[in-house]
Amino acid sequence: MGRFIARRLLQALPTVAGVVLITFVLFNVVGGSPAALVLGQNAGARALDEFDAARGYDKPLFCGHWTKTRALDEVDFDTAAPGVRAAWGAGESGPLRLEDGRELAIPFAFPPPKGETWRLTVIGDGPGFPHRGKKCSTPWKKVFRSAEQPAFRAAGGPVEIRRVKLEKATRHFFDSQLVEYAGRVLRLDFGTSTSLNQPVSNLLKAGLGPSLALTVPILVVELAVSLVLALLCAYRRGSGLDRGLVAVCVALMSVNYLVWIVFGQYVLAYRLGWFPVWGFESWRNLLLPVLIGVATGLGTNVRFYRTILLEEMHKDYVRTAFAKGLRTEQVLFKHVLKNALGPVIVNVALALPYLYTGSLLLESFFGIPGLGYLSLNAIHSADVEVVRAIVLVGALLFTAANVLADVALAWVDPRVKLA
């Protein structure tokens, strides 16, 4: 068993690496600029650059010796907007033209920060272009420190500049956002919340208790009730009881989640006063959200378990058990349920990650300060660090749940080999 678990964990490592990579791509590449999301599109270049530098977003995505900077946006004069052309002193269209002896005036958004190395690249042509190579297309590059001022001058004739780019040097080739992100994940360092200014790991720890207090009772009660009702339906298949329970399950599945929440809060909590409407002061605050959570998932689970148990009810060992005179309870719980535990375990194991992430709607509507409530607030405030941490940990837990399901299935079912 120990070797099987170790082998499954090793097999899961590529999946874990893939989860980390996909999470990085979603939030660092596809998601756009986190600085612009948090500070707004109208924030100054210096503020955006300082935000990126504090969180490692100023590095190249995957690798490289140089990375772009907000101190000077790369400009292509063939496609530059009128405002950009005016800042550089260019004409209405075409390349930027420098007369003989004129120096290029660089409109930095802010002075490059001290203690760093920069590289200015100018691409153009003309008699006065200071080519560094034999080909006319060779760009002019100048590496300088922040205390210096790079000077590009047309000497010996006019110059037509087509493109200008400023880059900042990295510490080494692999000094990138991906490497830093992977290192932080290994250290369980999820960064600092931009909206709450607290370590994300502390926020996750604080929200884990309330979420588990809500989701664990929902899972346990829902599992127990679903199995009992499914066994009853399977045993009395085709009877009025079976058809009635199936009809109730379909009705439960058809009602929207929000309908249950509104009905529970308005009728059961506000009008009848049976439950508290809001808060997390005592166990009584959890009764109504747990009841709603069980009701919304009961229909799906009863129908799923009923299908599994019906396959077992018509097998030879069940008829043999009844022929021996065993009580119905013994046959159903000791034999039928035991042999149907495989799909049940898989279903429960795959539900375990959702215990961690909590319930967005229940926690939000009932004021439970769990991870679901934290996730919703983070989405509203564009808190990328919190959202990314919750998504990453949830995905890793889902991978772990798959490994746990394989191990548990091999443990309860002798037909599954530990290979």
DSSP string, 163-184: EEEEEEE-SSTT-SHHHHHHHH
Instruction: Say whether both 131 and 276 belong to one domain.
Output: no
- DSSP for 55-88, written as a single string: HTTTS-SS--SEEE-TTS--EETTT--HHHHHHH
Task: Examine the domain organization and report whether 125 and 249 are in the same domain.
Answer: no
Asked, for residue 3, whether it belongs to a domain, the answer is no
Q: End of a domain among 120, 150, 169?
A: 169
The model's pTM: 0.79
Pair 288, 229 in one domain? yes
225 and 289 inside one domain: yes
Q: Quote the domain boundaries for residue 78.
A: 66-169
Question: Domain with 379 in it: what CATH number?
Answer: 1.10.3720.10
Dist CA 286 CA 277 (whole Å): 10
> Quick one: pLDDT at residue 414?
64
Q: Name the residue among 42, 73, 72, 37 with its Cα closest to residue 55.
A: 37
Contacts 24+ apart (CB under 8 A), 409-415: 409/342, 409/345, 409/346, 410/1, 410/4, 411/1, 412/341, 412/342, 412/345, 413/341, 413/342
Residues 360, 217 within the same domain: yes
- 209 domain residue, yes or no: yes
Question: How distant, in Å, are the alpha carbons of 80, 214, 348 from that of 237?
Answer: 73, 34, 25
Q: Would residue 207 count as lying in a domain?
A: yes
141 backbone dihedrals φ, ψ, rounded to 5° = -125, 140
Q: What is the mean pLDDT of each run of 10 residues along the chain (419 residues)?
A: 68 84 86 81 87 89 92 91 91 89 90 87 88 63 83 88 93 92 89 88 90 90 90 84 87 84 89 87 89 88 86 80 80 80 82 76 88 87 88 85 78 64
Place of tokens 């749940």: 401
Tell whether 355 and 212 lie within a shared domain.
Answer: yes
Is 110 among the domain residues?
yes
User: Which pLDDT value is given to residue 4?
Assistant: 63
- DSSP designation for 117: E
Token readout for 332 is: 């159903």
Residue 90 lies in a domain: yes
Which pLDDT value is given to residue 195?
85
Q: Answer positive or negative: Cα dihedral of 66, 70, 71, 76.
A: positive
Short-list 254, 242, 239, CA closest to 307 = 242
In terms of domains, do 140 and 249 share one? no
Q: What is the CATH number of the domain that holds 121?
A: 2.60.120
Number of domains in the chain: 2
List, in order, residues 6 or more apart from 258 with CB less than 8 Å away. 361
Are 164 and 206 part of one and the same domain?
Answer: no
Residues 96, 233 share a domain:
no
Which tokens go with 111? 């002075």
